[in-house]
Amino acid sequence: MVSHVVSRVVRRVVPHVFPVPAMPADGPAMIRNRVLATLVALGVVGALAFGFVGFAPNRLLSGRPVALWDAVSAPVLWVVAAAWLALAAASLAPPGRGRDRLALVVGLGLVLALLAGAGEAATRLAATAPSPSARTSLGAGFWLMLFAAALAAVDALQRLAAGMALRALAILLVGAGALALAASGQLSELSLAKEYANRREVFLAELLRHVALVAGAVLVAVAVGVPLGLAAQRRPRTGGIVFGALNLLQTIPSIALFGLLIGPLSWLAAAVPALQDLGVRGIGATPALVALVLYSLLPVARNTQAGLASVSPAVVEAARGMGLTPGQILLGVEVPIALPVLISGLRIVTVQAIGLAVVAALIGAGGLGTFVFQGLGQNAVDLVLLGALATILLALAADLGFQFLLGLTRRSA
């Protein structure tokens, strides 16, 4: 999903921002893939104009940028340069599956090469450092090139009109490669890895807490939102009220909602001791869960209503006429037909909740936001990054999971 949107935006915007002058069709320097050409330009700018990594004597000082050619060994430098050259050549080549396959493989390989290069740079810089508290963080050049390389692969996947299987394979390959690099110790001198190493136990606990918070919120939102959507579809007047209220909730900024819940929940916990024993408090997981559920209700209810409304009235009339009971019509006919729309709703809600749950750390709910806010407090960018990157990866994983589910329901429908 995210990758589709990014690629679409890039294709739309790029020709306007960097208009490619019209060239004669048989011109020798004809650019055939403008997206790729722009990404190559971006990558080259990243390599030449920005530091590949930043090097600092300790984690609180901001680092001094180190250029790619100073940071990595000659073989890595050549691999990266060759990869950009190959992508540049691909952008000039006439359209064809061979060209796009090359761009895909080189793009994916480059992502891993950049990771390995950053790890190598950190190891080399650590060897020259006077103290073990010296830190190597990922620089703007690294991120620009990583971004450009990943988008080059995404663009190639789009051009190949790749199916679910190829997309999944590409993601699995990069994921497995990154994990293998991490496991081999190649990346362990990076500041990000050190921040992780310092918090290894807490990290897993907070990750699980984050997942539990999101899963709990989505489950409750389904339990409440699906009946609301059903009621809205059956009685349009009820629908008006329900969606009016949920729309209003959606407009409250998340931090405000977290804050607003502290008062009533503290009062509730004080007034009803039994609730207190259940863990209901003004701060912590309870208000976070409540807020996430409130934000999730609108998409769940809306998609339930839309999915059920998409069932043709003729189908329902035929079902009634043949003697299906209202329950059989709902579960056997309407819900299966509405399922793809319902799952799309869950996908939106889950990805949204994963992001929102970061903010919930502010009111003591824990989760990956803990690292983000600790990092912000300590001015330690890599700690912020640890929380943020983990959140992004979690959201991407959830998105992919739901895409897969959606593919299954489409196939059977």
Partner 1 sequence: MIELTRVTKRYGDKAVVDDLSLTVARGAFFVLVGPSGSGKSTTLKMINRLVGIDAGAIAVDGRNVRDMPAEALRRGMGYVIQSIGLFPHWTVADNIATVPRLLRWPEARVRARVAELIALLQLDAAEVARKYPHELSGGQQQRIGVARALAADPGIVLMDEPFGALDPITRDALQGEIARIHAATEKTIVFVTHDMDEALRLGTEIAILDQGRLVQCGSPADILRSPANDFVRTFVGGADFGLRLLGVTRVRDRLRPNGALAGPPVSPDASLKEALSLMIASRRDALPVRDGAGRSLGAVHLADLARA
Q: What is the DSSP letter of 137?
A: E
Q: CA 87 to CA 102: how far, in whole Å? A: 8
Task: Based on the shown chain and the rule CB under 8 A, indicate whether residue 327 belongs to the binding site for partner 1.
Answer: no
Burial 376-411 (b: 16+ CB within 10 A, else e): eeeebbbbbbbbbbbbeebbbebbbebbebbeeeee
Q: CA 400 to CA 226: how far, in whole Å? A: 23
Instruction: Choose one: 6-14, 38-46, 308-316, 396-404; the region binding partner 1 (CB under 8 A).
Output: 308-316
Instruction: Choose one: 45-53, 64-72, 149-157, 321-329; the region binding partner 1 (CB under 8 A).
Output: 321-329
Q: What are phi and psi of 136, to 5 degrees?
A: -115, 115
CB contact at 8 A, 194 and 135: yes
Task: Based on the shown chain and the rule CB under 8 A, indicate whether residue 342 belongs to the binding site for partner 1.
Answer: no
**Percentage helix, strand, coil, to 5, in the chain?**
80, 5, 20
Q: Which is nearer to partner 1, 171 or 306 (CB)?
A: 306
CB of 29 to partner 1, least distance (A): 49
Q: CA 156 to CA 86: how far, in whole Å? A: 13
Element (H, E) at 369: helix 369-378
Q: Which is nearer to partner 1, 192 or 329 (CB)?
A: 329
Q: Which is nearer to partner 1, 325 or 378 (CB)?
A: 325
Size of the site for partner 1 (CB under 8 A): 20
Give 164-169's long-range contacts (Cβ < 8 A, gap of 24+): 164/403, 164/404, 164/407, 168/400, 168/404
Task: Based on the shown chain and the rule CB under 8 A, indicate whether residue 337 belongs to the binding site for partner 1.
Answer: yes
Task: Based on the shown chain and the rule CB under 8 A, indicate whether residue 411 belongs to the binding site for partner 1.
Answer: no
Q: Which is nearer to partner 1, 133 or 325 (CB)?
A: 325
CB of 319 to partner 1, least distance (A): 7
Task: Based on the shown chain and the rule CB under 8 A, indicate whether residue 309 belongs to the binding site for partner 1.
Answer: no
Burial bucket for residue 247 (CB in 10 Å: 0-12, 13-18, 19+) = exposed
Sole binder of partner 1 in the list 315, 331, 376, 397 (CB under 8 A)? 315
CB of 164 to partner 1, least distance (A): 20
Q: Which is nearer to partner 1, 33 or 304 (CB)?
A: 304
Task: Based on the shown chain and the rule CB under 8 A, indicate whether residue 316 belongs to the binding site for partner 1.
Answer: yes
Task: Based on the shown chain and the rule CB under 8 A, indicate whether residue 325 belongs to the binding site for partner 1.
Answer: yes
Task: Based on the shown chain and the rule CB under 8 A, indicate whether residue 321 belongs to the binding site for partner 1.
Answer: yes
Task: Based on the shown chain and the rule CB under 8 A, indicate whether residue 314 belongs to the binding site for partner 1.
Answer: yes
Q: Which is nearer to partner 1, 185 or 326 (CB)?
A: 326
Burial bucket for residue 51 (CB in 10 Å: 0-12, 13-18, 19+) = buried
Task: Based on the shown chain and the rule CB under 8 A, indicate whether residue 319 belongs to the binding site for partner 1.
Answer: yes
Q: What is the DSSP letter of 20?
A: P
Of 284, 266, 283, the residue nearest 275 (C-alpha): 266
Task: Based on the shown chain and the rule CB under 8 A, indicate whether residue 317 belongs to the binding site for partner 1.
Answer: yes
DSSP symbols for 99-131: HHHHHHHHHHHHHHHHHHHHHHHHHHHHHH-SS
Q: Which is nearer to partner 1, 188 or 409 (CB)?
A: 409
Sole binder of partner 1 in the list 11, 34, 101, 320 (CB under 8 A)? 320
Task: Based on the shown chain and the rule CB under 8 A, indicate whether residue 19 belongs to the binding site for partner 1.
Answer: no
347: Cα within 13 Å, side-chain hemisphere = 19
Q: Which is nearer to partner 1, 44 or 338 (CB)?
A: 338
CB of 348 to partner 1, least distance (A): 23
CB contact at 8 A, 189 and 127: no
Of 146, 139, 138, 122, the residue nearest 42 (C-alpha): 146
For residue 241, what are the contacts with CB-CB under 8 A and spacing of at least 6? none
Sole binder of partner 1 in the list 324, 330, 393, 408 (CB under 8 A)? 324
Task: Based on the shown chain and the rule CB under 8 A, indicate whether residue 127 belongs to the binding site for partner 1.
Answer: no
Q: Which is nearer to partner 1, 160 or 337 (CB)?
A: 337
CB of 299 to partner 1, least distance (A): 23
Task: Based on the shown chain and the rule CB under 8 A, indicate whether residue 318 belongs to the binding site for partner 1.
Answer: yes
CB contact at 8 A, 304 and 271: no
Q: Which is nearer to partner 1, 105 or 333 (CB)?
A: 333
Residues that bind partner 1 (CB under 8 A): 312-325, 328, 333, 336-337, 412-413
